[in-house]
Amino acid sequence: MADRIFEEPRLADVYDFFDSAERPDLDPYIAMADEFGAKSIIDLGCGTGILACRLAAIGKEVIGIDPAAASLKVASQKAYADRVKWIHGTAAMLSGLKADLVTMTGNVAQVFIDDEEWMSTLRKCRDIIRPGGRLVFEVRDPSKEAWKDWNREQSFQVIDVPEIGKIEKWVDLLNVQLPLVTFRQTFVFQKDGAVISSDSTLKFRNRSEIIDSIRGTNLHVEDIRDAPDRPGLEFVFVTRFPG
């Protein structure tokens, strides 16, 4: 089940407004699609579809899949969304499909807090990648302890969304029992006073644990890159299916 921030329609509708319009975190994925000569791409955990639509705009064959119907509804209203095949579900629903590149951006790779679910997802990605194709995903480096900044004082924002009005948002850290970190995002819609919160838990696997999990699925770690939008704070794993 998707977290409320992705599944609750009011939150999904405003999700993109809290991110930088330029989304620099997605630029490397656009560049890698060209670097690797990928013509077909599956964006696993596509959310509101920004990456999928950007890839479709440059002529890629794209599938966006996500368990949150509300996020997919937002995605379907974007420019070039008609060029993307949208699937409501998880990696388990990708059987029979093939792609040159599979991506997991943002926190997607860290939402799999159960190790078997994580391994199952990696195996499914391996199965749908064509020989010579790649799986690319990012994870936060646990040694940087990003959660120390997840508090109201450092995260408070107020934005004004057209036709919706001003919305307050902040993050509260709820629990740290490494490798699991749980936090709450709270939204206050000033127009009607509605307060909606969403709790999330991420698993912070270290670099060695990620490498071991990849090797256990017959994928090859081709490269580990930095994340330009968070230099020194994340690992971007580039894995390849030999062939």
SS3 for 131?
A: strand
pLDDT given for residue 21 in this prediction:
61
Per-residue pLDDT of the chain (243 residues; tens, 9 = 90+): 789 999 999 999 999 999 866 688 899 999 999 999 999 999 999 999 999 999 999 999 999 999 999 999 999 999 999 999 999 999 999 989 999 999 999 999 999 999 999 999 999 999 999 999 999 999 999 999 999 999 999 999 999 999 999 999 999 999 999 999 999 999 999 999 999 999 999 999 999 999 999 999 989 999 999 988 888 999 999 999 987
Name the nearest CA neighbour of 67 among 85, 88, 47, 91: 88
> What is the number of alpha carbons within 13 Å of residue 174 lying toward its C-beta?
15
pLDDT given for residue 237 in this prediction:
98
SS3 for 103?
A: strand
Instruction: Give dist(CA 73, CA 132) in Å, integer.
Output: 33
Instruction: Give dist(CA 65, CA 103) in Å, integer.
Output: 11
Ordered DSSP codes for 19-84:
S-TT-GGGHHHHHHHHHTT-SEEEEET-TT-HHHHHHHHTT-EEEEEES-HHHHHHHTTSTTGGGE
Fold of 4-140+205-240: Rossmann fold (3.40.50)
pLDDT given for residue 22 in this prediction:
63
Q: What are phi and psi of 239, to 5 degrees?
A: -115, 150
pTM exceeding 0.75: yes
